[in-house]
Structure 1
Amino acid sequence: MSLKYFPTVTPSAIALGTAFTHATSLVLSAPFFGSAYERAKSADTPEEFLKSKEGAGAIAAWGSSLAGAAAKTYAVAAILQSTGTITQKGAVYLGVLLFAIGSVPGAFVNIFQEKRPGEYIFIKLASELVDSVGLAAVLNWWGTRPDIV
């Protein structure tokens, strides 16, 4: 496998997109981190909290969310470059397509197989739509291509 087939993306675009994606994913997991924060405040020392099961779970969730955000950012930036998307309208369309690919099948599973509440499904789809479309728009606005001299 050769890395020459992967498009180059500016590090600043990856950092900005990672922060955007990580922030939107933390909105979904805010209740989890909120309870972990309350437990951390009630612990005697920070080291005691970090050694607890809740602390380890919070750190693992935060780290995996950050790594996933970076990978998703690179993938969306690479798709923007590979497709030659230069307008915001095109980036929004691309974000909607990425949303449809990544989230709609899971919504059908949540509706018909798992029979989740409608509010849960709506909130999850809305946040994933904001994440997908927003990430594509932010990356397109920022610019993903390195300056070629």
Structure 2
Amino acid sequence: MSLKYFPSVTPSAIALGTAFTHGTSLVLSAPFFGSAYERAKASDTPEEFLKSKEGAGALAAWGSSLVGAAAKTYAVAAILQSTGTLTQKGAAYLGLLIFAIGTVPGAFVNIFQEKRPGEYVLVKVASDLLDSVGLAALLNWWGTRPDLV
């Protein structure tokens, strides 16, 4: 496998998109991190908290969210670049397509199979919609190709 088949994307676009995607994913996990923060304040030392099960779980969730955000950002930027999307309207359509293939099936599972509360599904869908369409629009606005900057 050769790396020459992967489109080049500016590092600044990856950094900006990673921050955006990581921030929108933290909106959903804020209650989890809020309770972890309360436990951290209650522990005697930071080392004690990091050795605890809650601390390790919070660190793993934060780290995996950051890595996933970087991977998603690169993928969306590469798709934008490979398709030659130049307009914000085109980026929004591409973001809607990414949203449809990534979130809609899971939303149906959450509603009909897992019987999750409607508020939970609505917040998750709204967050994913903001993440998908917003990320595509942000990356398109910023510019993803090194030869254009």
1:98 aligns with 2:81: no
3-state SS of 2:126 partner: helix
**TM-aligned CA deviation for residue 2 of structure 1:** 1.0
The one-letter code sitting in structure 1 at the alignment partner of 2:144 is T
**Residue in 1 that maps onto 2:29:** 29
1:132 aligns with 2:129: no
**Residue in 2 that maps onto 1:14:** 14
- Map 1:26-105; keep pairs closer than 5 Å: 26-105=26-105
The one-letter code sitting in structure 1 at the alignment partner of 2:137 is A
3-state SS of 1:29 partner: helix
- What is the rounded CA distance, in whole Å, between the counterparts of 1:52 and 1:3 in structure 2? 40
**Residue in 2 that maps onto 1:141:** 141
Q: How many residues align?
A: 149
**TM-aligned CA deviation for residue 122 of structure 1:** 0.9
TM-score normalised over the length of structure 1: 0.98
* Moved beyond 4 Å, runs of 4+: none
The one-letter code sitting in structure 1 at the alignment partner of 2:46 is P
- What is the rounded CA distance, in whole Å, between the counterparts of 1:38 and 1:28 in structure 2? 17
1:108 aligns with 2:94: no
Q: CA RMSD in A?
A: 1.0
In structure 1, runs of 5+ residues without a counterpart are: none
The one-letter code sitting in structure 2 at the alignment partner of 1:72 is K
**Residue in 2 that maps onto 1:123:** 123
- What is the rounded CA distance, in whole Å, between the counterparts of 1:4 and 1:114 in structure 2? 42
In structure 2, runs of 5+ residues without a counterpart are: none
**TM-aligned CA deviation for residue 115 of structure 1:** 1.3
- What is the rounded CA distance, in whole Å, between the counterparts of 2:96 and 2:148 in structure 1? 29
Kindly provide the CA deviation profile for residues 66-93 of structure 1, in whole angstroms up to 9, marking residues without a partner as x.
0000000000000000000000010000
**TM-aligned CA deviation for residue 119 of structure 1:** 1.2
- What is the rounded CA distance, in whole Å, between the counterparts of 2:115 and 2:52 in structure 1? 34
Cα 1:146–1:48 change in 2 (3 A) is same
**TM-aligned CA deviation for residue 147 of structure 1:** 2.3
TM-score normalised over the length of structure 2: 0.98
The one-letter code sitting in structure 2 at the alignment partner of 1:105 is P
**TM-aligned CA deviation for residue 148 of structure 1:** 6.0
Aligned-pair identity (%): 87
3-state SS of 1:41 partner: helix
**TM-aligned CA deviation for residue 116 of structure 1:** 1.2
**TM-aligned CA deviation for residue 45 of structure 1:** 0.6
